[in-house]
Every structure is written in structure tokens, then in C-alpha cells.
């Protein structure tokens, strides 16, 4: 291993170094602005919207509860979806979120209609202990995505302490993620970001070995950077999902009508060679659940053996592969899983992903570490019923992958304070 002089100081700060946590501040009577990721999926028409999955709201609760318990005057804010014009307001309102937050926290949530307004200033002075403010969808103000100083300045004018707990939005340099914290001396992260970074940096720093990476999902191209970053520390590389057909094609096997990225076949071949040259293993499915059509699958069958017939496409890993992958997972100490093993949204093709989730729960039960990243993988883990038995499920989606790729997240970088200069003001 090589060491670089100065690692851990100045420009080389990484992980949570130089970032304060909400616990480092005296919150009593302070106006605490908390940026959250409350971007939850909704169904129904404008006026009768319903939250279909409140995972992100629940994930935000520890930080909000902590601030309320410490006697802070709390202002919450989040984006929701991608509203483009004024007519979109009814569809992208945070009203249902305000309601759900009120139920979960048992307090009154006052929704501020304009994110960029002075209204919070006046309301904050008279805020009661069982009340908090929530700004309407930050993207109702065009300044949010443009990282505009105007929106940041308005919020800074009534904020004493800034807390970012929006891990899922921290890979974007938006006004409340980047411009705003830079204006506030007392800034730090909440419990969710802390948990995310602690778990994800563990993977980057040197996971307990053997280290198994399970990759699947829709495309090889989405995961190349993460694979590249992890390749040196991986002991076993397990592949499933649509991704596996590009790898099987690279081995010269018949994949029928399965989804293959032709322009990634060479990459897949070279990657397998690199891993095997290091004496490490690459595991590919040995059987498949196949069908005749992706959108309207009628003939669903299990295909054993190496090749998939010309008129079939693979939509999940088969039973032999499930058993083999399960054993391999239980032999590891650390597992990172990104990308479902099949089209898990349909029960016929969910068995592979659920078997992986079950094996990961078994691994954790015997002292191993399982970390799940990626929006669809998190959804698959949730649907499997084993989600609460994982070491960590990242709520970050794109942000977790970018972090694992080694990218600097604007939301984290904006929180770093060089200790010496920040200390006197705290």
C-alpha cells in the first residue's frame, strides 16, 4: 500500500472527515433548517394524491425527532419529482407529505406555500414546541436546481443551523444542497447521511474479506464505474439480471432474445479476464427463467444448460443458480448488492432477487455484513420481506452509486468545515 503525505487533511478530506453532525450543536431555541429527501412515490390524481411508499419519510424521522426533542425551531425542506410549469403544482405538492409527517411525529406541520419567501421568519418567532415548518416543494422555485444565490440567501436569512440529511439528493449541486450551507457557519449532517457514509465508506476503505459483489439490474453501462472502483478488493463477482446476458454473450454462449449491450461485450470479456487473472472468481447464472416476450410473457419456463434458445429471453436466474448463489453468499464476510437478479416487479421473475435477499439475511445472522445499494435493489429487498435484516440499505439511489464510484458529492463537500477556522464560532 502507498501512503500519501497529508492524507486526511485539507483537500484530501473524505467520508465524514471535517463534517459536523447535528449532535455537535446546541439546538435549544435555534432555528434549524433541515434539508431532507422526501421525494416519495405517489399515485392518484391532483387533489387526491396518495403516498405509495413512505420509506424516505420514515428514514428522515430520527433527525427531525432529535431536533424537536432538543427544543429547536425546525424548518424542513425537500424537492418532489420534476415540476416544470406552474400547472404542475397540484401534482407535485408536498401536502400529502406534510400530512404524513404530522401523523408520524404527532405534531402540527405548517406548509409554507412559496419556498422562496420571508413567511418563515415571522412564523419562527412564535413557533410552539409541537409545531414545525415545511417549505413547499423546493423545485417550485426555479432557483433550486440552478443553485441560485437568491433562494439560498432567503433561507440563510432565517437559519441559525443548517443540517443536510438528504443523502439521495446530495449528488446534485442545487441551492439548498450546495449554495445554502456555504452561507452558514454552523452546518452539519443528520443521522441518515451519517449512517449512509459510515456504511458506504466501509466498503471503499477495505471491507471484511471475503468480499462478494453482486451486480445485476438493467444495464452493464450503469455500473461500469462502480465495478472499476471495487474491482481490486472484490474476491468474488456474482452477476445476475439483464447484465448477465452481456457477460454470457462475451463467453460465446447463446442468449436468445435476452437484453444484451453489444458495445459492452468487449468490456465484459476484459473484466472477467482481469478478475480471473488475480485468481478471483466470476460467477454467472447456470440456468434461467425464460419467456417468449418481455411485455406479455406467456410461455414461462426454466432453462438449464448453457445456452438460451433463439426465441426466448432470460428474465430471472433459475433454481440451480439460486442455490449456488445462496451458498456463495453465506461463504462471504461482506456483500455489496446492486441490481436485481431479474424482473422482480413481476412475481414470476422475482424468485432470484428474493433468494439473494434471504441469503443476505442469513449472512447477517451469522455476523456478516450486507449492504444494498440502488433504488430498484432496495425495492426488491423491501418486497422480499428481508429488508429489516440487512446491515444497511442505502436510500440514496444515484447518490450512493456516485459515492461508491469515488465521486465527490456536492452536498457532502459543502458541509466540510476546516476545524481550526470553524471552532471559534461554535
Q: Is 376 in the site for ligand ADP (CB under 6 A)?
A: yes
**Cα–Cα distance measured from residue 279 to residue 294, given in angstroms and rounded to the nearest whole number:** 37
Shortest distance in whole angstroms from residue 105 CB to Mg ion? 30
Helices 55-69 + 191-205 axis angle, to 10: 120
User: Residue 132 pairs with which residues in a beta bridge?
Assistant: 109
Q: Is 398 in the site for Mg ion (CB under 5 A)?
A: no
Q: Is 308 in the site for ligand ADP (CB under 6 A)?
A: no
Tell me which of Mg ion, ligand ADP, none is bound by residue 292, counting a contact when its beta carbon lies within the kind-specific cut-off of 5 to 8 angstroms.
none
Site string for ligand ADP, 207-226 (x = CB under 6 A): ----------xx---x----
Catalytic pick from 20, 56, 139, 264? 56
Q: Is 402 in the site for Mg ion (CB under 5 A)?
A: no
Catalytic pick from 219, 251, 274, 416? 219
Shortest distance in whole angstroms from residue 377 CB to Mg ion? 8
Rank residues 38 and 242 by Cβ distance to Mg ion and give the closer one: 242
**Cα–Cα distance measured from residue 379 to residue 350, given in angstroms and rounded to the nearest whole number:** 11
- Identify which range of 125-133, 145-153, 181-189, 334-342 contacts ligand ADP by CB under 6 A: 334-342
**Cα–Cα distance measured from residue 426 to residue 424, given in angstroms and rounded to the nearest whole number:** 6
**Cα–Cα distance measured from residue 19 to residue 25, given in angstroms and rounded to the nearest whole number:** 12
Examine the residue annotation and report whether 351 is marked as an active-site residue of this protein.
Answer: no
CB under 8 Å to 323, separation ≥6 — which residues?
none
Q: Is 256 in the site for ligand ADP (CB under 6 A)?
A: no
**Cα–Cα distance measured from residue 196 to residue 16, given in angstroms and rounded to the nearest whole number:** 10
Task: List, as one string, the DSSP characters of 180-242.
Answer: TGGG-SSEEE-HHHHHHHHHHHHHHH-PSSSEEEEE-SS-STTTHHHHHHHTTT-SEEEE-TT
Q: Is 328 in the site for Mg ion (CB under 5 A)?
A: no
Rank residues 9 and 294 by Cβ distance to ligand ADP and give the closer one: 294
Is there a contact between 116 and 143 (Cβ–Cβ < 8 Å)? yes
Contact pick of 243, 376, 386, 417 for Mg ion (by CB under 5 A): 376
Contact pick of 164, 338, 395, 417 for ligand ADP (by CB under 6 A): 338
Catalytic pick from 71, 254, 362, 398? 398
Tell me which of Mg ion, ligand ADP, none is bound by residue 339, counting a contact when its beta carbon lies within the kind-specific cut-off of 5 to 8 angstroms.
ligand ADP
Report cis status (omega within 30 of 0) of the bond before 230.
Answer: no
Q: Is 375 in the site for Mg ion (CB under 5 A)?
A: yes
Contact pick of 22, 34, 193, 315 for ligand ADP (by CB under 6 A): 315
Rank residues 18 and 256 by Cβ distance to ligand ADP and give the closer one: 256
- Identify which range of 31-39, 63-71, 337-345, 361-369 contacts ligand ADP by CB under 6 A: 337-345
Report the b/e string of 349-387 with b at 16+ CB within 10 A.
bbbbbbbbbbbbbbbbeeebbbbbbbbbbbbbbbbbebb
Shortest distance in whole angstroms from residue 352 CB to ligand ADP? 8
Rank residues 92 and 344 by Cβ distance to Mg ion and give the closer one: 344
Rank residues 120 and 314 by Cβ distance to ligand ADP and give the closer one: 314
Shortest distance in whole angstroms from residue 242 CB to Mg ion? 11
| Other C-beta atoms lying within 10 Å of the C-beta of residue 122 | 9
- Strands in 211-215's sheet, in edge-to-edge order, are 281-283, 236-239, 211-215, 334-338, 369-372, 392-393
Is there a contact between 369 and 361 (Cβ–Cβ < 8 Å)? no
Return the closest-CA partner of residue 146 out of 111, 177, 170, 181. Answer: 177
- Identify which range of 77-85, 112-120, 372-380, 415-423 contacts ligand ADP by CB under 6 A: 372-380
Shortest distance in whole angstroms from residue 376 CB to ligand ADP? 3
Examine the residue annotation and report whether 314 is marked as an active-site residue of this protein.
Answer: no
Examine the residue annotation and report whether 375 is marked as an active-site residue of this protein.
Answer: yes
Rank residues 189 and 401 by Cβ distance to Mg ion and give the closer one: 401
Largest CA distance in the chain: 71
Give residues in contact with ligand ADP (CB under 6 A).
217-218, 222, 241-242, 259, 314-315, 338-340, 342-343, 345, 374-377
Residues annotated as catalytic (active site), given as ranges: 56, 219, 375, 398
Amino acid at each position: 500500500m502507498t501512503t500519501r503525505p497529508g492524507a486526511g487533511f485539507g483537500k484530501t478530506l473524505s467520508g465524514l472527515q471535517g463534517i459536523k453532525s447535528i449532535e455537535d450543536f446546541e439546538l435549544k431555541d435555534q432555528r434549524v433548517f433541515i434539508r431532507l429527501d422526501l421525494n416519495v412515490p405517489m399515485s392518484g390524481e391532483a387533489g387526491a394524491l396518495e403516498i405509495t411508499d413512505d420509506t424516505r419519510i420514515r428514514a428522515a424521522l430520527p433527525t427531525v425527532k432529535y431536533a424537536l426533542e432538543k427544543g429547536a425551531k425546525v424548518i424542513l425542506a425537500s424537492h418532489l419529482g420534476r415540476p416544470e410549469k406552474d400547472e404542475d403544482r397540484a401534482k407535485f405538492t408536498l401536502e400529502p407529505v406534510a400530512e404524513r409527517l404530522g401523523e408520524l411525529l404527532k405534531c402540527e406541520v405548517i406548509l409554507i406555500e412559496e419556498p422562496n419567501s420571508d413567511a418563515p421568519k415571522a412564523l419562527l418567532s412564535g413557533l410552539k414546541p409541537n409545531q414545525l415548518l415545511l417549505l413547499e416543494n423546493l423545485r417550485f422555485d426555479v432557483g433550486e436546481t440552478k443553485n441560485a444565490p437568491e433562494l439560498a440567501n432567503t433561507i440563510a436569512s432565517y437559519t441559525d443551523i443548517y443540517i443536510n440529511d438528504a443523502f439521495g439528493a446530495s449528488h446534485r449541486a442545487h441551492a439548498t444542497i450546495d449554495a445554502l450551507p456555504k452561507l452558514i457557519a454552523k452546518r452539519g449532517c443528520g443521522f441518515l447521511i451519517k449512517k449512509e457514509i459510515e456504511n458506504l465508506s466501509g466498503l471503499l476503505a477495505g471491507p471484511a474479506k471475503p468480499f462478494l459483489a453482486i451486480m445485476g439490474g438493467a444495464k452493464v453501462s450503469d455500473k461500469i464505474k462502480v465495478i472499476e472502483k471495487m474491482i481490486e478488493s472484490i474476491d468474488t463477482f456474482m452477476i445476475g439480471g439483464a447484465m448477465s446476458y452481456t457477460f454470457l454473450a462475451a463467453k460465446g454462449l447463446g442468449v436468445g432474445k435476452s437484453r444484451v449491450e453489444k458495445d459492452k461485450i468487449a468490456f465484459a470479456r476484459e473484466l472477467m479476464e482481469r478478475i480471473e487473472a488475480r485468481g478471483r472468481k466470476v460467477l454467472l447464472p447456470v440456468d434461467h427463467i425464460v419467456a417468449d416476450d418481455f411485455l406479455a410473457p406467456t410461455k414461462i419456463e426454466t432453462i438449464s444448460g448453457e445456452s438460451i434458445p433463439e426465441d426466448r429471453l432470460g428474465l430471472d436466474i433459475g433454481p440451480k443458480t439460486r442455490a449456488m448463489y445462496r451458498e456463495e453468499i453465506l461463504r462471504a464476510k461482506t456483500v455489496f448488492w446492486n441490481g436485481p437478479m431479474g424482473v422482480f416487479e413481476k412475481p414470476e421473475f422475482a424468485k432470484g432477487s428474493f433468494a439473494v435477499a434471504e441469503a443476505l439475511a442469513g449472512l447477517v445472522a451469522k455476523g456478516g455484513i450486507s449492504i444494498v445499494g440502488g433504488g430498484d435493489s432496495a425495492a426488491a429487498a423491501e418486497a422480499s420481506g428481508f429488508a429489516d435484516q440487512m446491515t444497511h440499505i442505502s436510500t440514496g439511489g444515484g447518490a450512493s452509486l456516485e459515492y461508491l464510484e469515488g465521486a465527490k458529492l456536492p452536498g457532502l463537500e459543502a458541509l466540510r468545515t476546516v476545524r481550526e477556522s470553524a471552532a471559534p464560532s461554535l
